Homo-oligomer: A and B are copies of this chain.
Amino acid sequence: MIFLEQHSKYRELLKREGIKNTKHRTAILEILEESDSPKTAEQLFISLKDKTASIDMSTVYRTLDTFTSKNLVVKSNRVDDGKALYEFNHHEHKHHLLCVGCHKLISIEDCPIGELQQILKRKIDFDITGHKLEIYGYCRDCKNFKEPSTDSEDV
């Protein structure tokens, strides 16, 4: 029974953090872990309506806040409208490519910050503890449809 295994996995996760196991919480963890891209609270709300009986938006927000403070979930803000985004914390270091054409989000492991870190340390005595890198552009499917390039400045 895959479902049972899955749920006992989330149950352990919650127990480890010292918070109670509820159907809403496992449902939210499940949706987020299965999702390959960050979700807004409302997208989660809609998915949850299908999965569990019903849930209130305040519960969604409170649960996501709890998960974020426990580092089970990573919170960020969407670039265009500033809306909050939540994704399962896989504890791996990765960045996203955002396609400007179709808004697809592609995960990559490449990270060029390592070398920069040494340079900054030496040049201006700054100790890096974390960073955020977002890359915009056109994916393979969209690059052929983009308008005649204006000025590929700022790259």
CB-based contact B112/A97 at 8 Å: no
- Stretch in contact with the other chain, from A1-9, A46-54, A135-143: A135-143
Assembly of this chain: how many copies? 2
Q: Which of B84, B97, B99, B132 contacts A120 (CB 8 A)?
A: B97
**DSSP class of A's interface residues: helix, strand, loop or mixed?**
mixed
| A132, B154: Cα distance in complex, Å | 10
| A97, B117: Cα distance in complex, Å | 11
Interface size, A (range): 35 or more
Residues of B close to A124: CB separation below 8 A: 97, 106, 108, 140
Residues of A within 8 A of B (CB): 77-79, 82-84, 91, 93, 97, 99-100, 106, 108, 110, 112-113, 115-117, 119-120, 123-140, 143, 152-155
